[in-house]
């Protein structure tokens, strides 16, 4: 007889000690997430006719500035935790990164680099629209090892066990199992955010700039739902956490951006074999020999969104889709 899972056990440890070196699982998950995001973004941006070197350059700045923004955003709402240990503000391996702070700061850094280097901002945004949620999903398992970002008490078979001292500090003495909101968010990112974006790209329904806009809508919606269950928020306005309000803003901005991009009807340029995007019904040409040739130069193919009947969605009596850019 197959045993039924009663709950997800809490991790026995959250570090690996190798001599004097202490490696935190939280940091490992974050590092893996960053690597995956950069790799996926690089290959998708090349697929969209951009330069892989451009992604590497923008990613370095985005990661560094993003981490600073994430930590500062967290510290700004948890100042009481650092009164006795102000130096602990530097201990990011102990947890404490505000995702939205990192996303905003990292986005600003990436846009500045791309603009200064004459990169394609919207193509880069579409490329990162899959890499970022994958990284977020991986990073959330770091929260599991730190026993943080859990929700309200639950007796569901997939509820996560939380140590008594942590549950008491969260305001739930006597409770042992809670909603694993970190797991909910990871699954949402993979199957809803990434899944929907890839499906619509495969169907040829998205114009240039629409993937990143759709990411904002989908992730913002999922994060809003998670915030309703989380118990670790220290700031609330009208009953909603700060991240809940930011999620609403992300959904609204993303929806406007999505509408605008779909109205512009600017087709994507596609070069080389498909990577984490569906090929659709199109002819694919080989990548140029020089990586820099695809940075912002001419492309060989264009992905043209189609309507439900399979017709070119960019063609009508009054206008036609703009040439690949």
The pLDDT of residue 235 is: 63
The pLDDT of residue 286 is: 39
The pLDDT of residue 234 is: 61
Share of the chain above pLDDT 90, in %: 43
Cα–Cα dist 320/83, whole Å:
61
Give the SS3 label for residue 190. helix
Q: Which two tokens stand for residue 3?
A: 């045993």
The pLDDT of residue 105 is: 92
The pLDDT of residue 247 is: 92
| pLDDT tens, position by position, 10-47 | 888 888 888 888 888 988 999 999 999 999 999 999 99
Instruction: Find the length of the chain.
Output: 325
Instruction: Please say if the pLDDT value at position 322 is more than 60.
Output: no
Q: What is the DSSP string of 97-119?
A: --HHHHHHHHHHHHHHHHHHTT-
Give the SS3 label for residue 16. strand
Listed by start position, the domains of the chain span: 23-303
The pLDDT of residue 123 is: 93
Alpha helix (H) residue ranges in the chain: 25-47, 52-77, 99-116, 121-145, 164-169, 181-187, 195-202, 210-227, 242-264
Share of the chain above pLDDT 70, in %: 77
The pLDDT of residue 112 is: 95
Band of the pLDDT at 233, cuts 50, 70, 90? low
The pLDDT of residue 318 is: 44
The pLDDT of residue 321 is: 43
Instruction: Please say if the pLDDT value at position 167 is more than 80.
Output: yes
Instruction: Please say if the pLDDT value at position 309 is more than 60.
Output: no
**Contact 197/215 with Cβ under 8 angstroms?**
yes
The pLDDT of residue 298 is: 43
Range ranked top by mean pLDDT from 69-78, 154-163, 224-233, 274-283: 154-163
The pLDDT of residue 198 is: 93
Instruction: Please say if the pLDDT value at position 319 is more than 50.
Output: no
| pLDDT tens, position by position, 46-94 | 999 888 899 999 999 999 999 888 888 887 777 767 777 777 777 766 6
What average pLDDT does the chain have? 80
pTM for the full model? 0.78
Torsion sign (Cα): 101, 106, 109, 110:
negative
Q: What is the DSSP string of 155-183?
A: -STTPEE--HHHHHHTT-TT--EE--HHH
Q: Which comes out higher in pLDDT, residue 324 or 159?
A: 159
Cα–Cα dist 29/142, whole Å:
5
| pLDDT tens, position by position, 265-302 | 887 767 766 666 544 433 333 344 444 444 444 444 45
- Tell which residue, 255, 282, 254, 256, has the closest CA to residue 269: 282
The pLDDT of residue 94 is: 63
By mean pLDDT, which of 112-121, 241-250, 263-272, 273-282 is the weakest?
273-282
**Distant-in-sequence, close-in-space partners of 184: CB < 8 Å, separation ≥ 6:** 151, 225, 226, 229
As to burial, measured by CB atoms within 10 angstroms (0-12 exposed, 13-18 middle, 19+ buried), residue 214 is buried
Instruction: Please say if the pLDDT value at position 252 is more than 90.
Output: yes
The pLDDT of residue 300 is: 45
Q: Which comes out higher in pLDDT, residue 313 or 177?
A: 177
DSSP state of 7: -
């Amino acid at each position: 007889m197959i045993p039924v899972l009663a709950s997800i056990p809490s991790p026995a440890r959250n570090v690996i000690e190798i001599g004097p070196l202490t490696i935190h699982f939280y940091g490992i998950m974050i590092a893996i997430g960053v690597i995956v995001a950069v790799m996926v973004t690089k290959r998708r941006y090349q697929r969209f006719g951009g330069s892989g070197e451009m992604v590497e350059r923008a990613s370095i700045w985005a990661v560094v500035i993003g981490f600073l923004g994430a930590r500062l955003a967290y510290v700004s709402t948890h100042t009481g935790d650092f009164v006795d240990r102000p130096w602990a503000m530097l201990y990011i391996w102990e947890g404490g990164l505000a995702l939205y702070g990192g996303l905003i700061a990292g986005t600003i850094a990436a846009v500045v680099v791309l603009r200064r280097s004459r990169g394609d901002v919207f193509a880069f945004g579409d490329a990162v629209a899959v890499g970022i949620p994958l990284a977020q999903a991986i990073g959330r398992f770091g929260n599991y090892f730190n026993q943080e970002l859990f929700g309200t008490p639950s007796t569901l078979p997939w509820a996560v066990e939380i140590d008594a001292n942590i549950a008491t500090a969260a305001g739930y003495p006597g409770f042992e199992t809670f909603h694993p909101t970190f797991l909910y968010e990871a699954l949402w990112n993979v199957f809803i955010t990434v899944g929907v974006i890839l499906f619509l790209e495969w169907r040829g329904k998205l114009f240039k700039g629409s993937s990143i806009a759709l990411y904002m809508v989908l992730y913002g919606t999922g994060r809003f739902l998670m915030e309703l269950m989380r118990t670790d928020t220290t700031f609330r306005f009208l009953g909603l956490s700060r991240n809940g309000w930011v999620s609403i803003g992300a959904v609204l901005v993303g929806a406007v951006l999505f509408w605008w991009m779909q109205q512009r009807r600017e087709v994507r340029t596609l070069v080389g074999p498909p990577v984490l995007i569906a090929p659709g019904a199109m002819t694919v040409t080989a990548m140029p020999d020089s990586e820099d040739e695809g940075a912002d130069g001419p492309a060989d193919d264009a992905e043209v969104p189609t309507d439900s009947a399979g017709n070119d969605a960019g063609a009508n009596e009054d206008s036609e889709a703009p040439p690949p850019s």
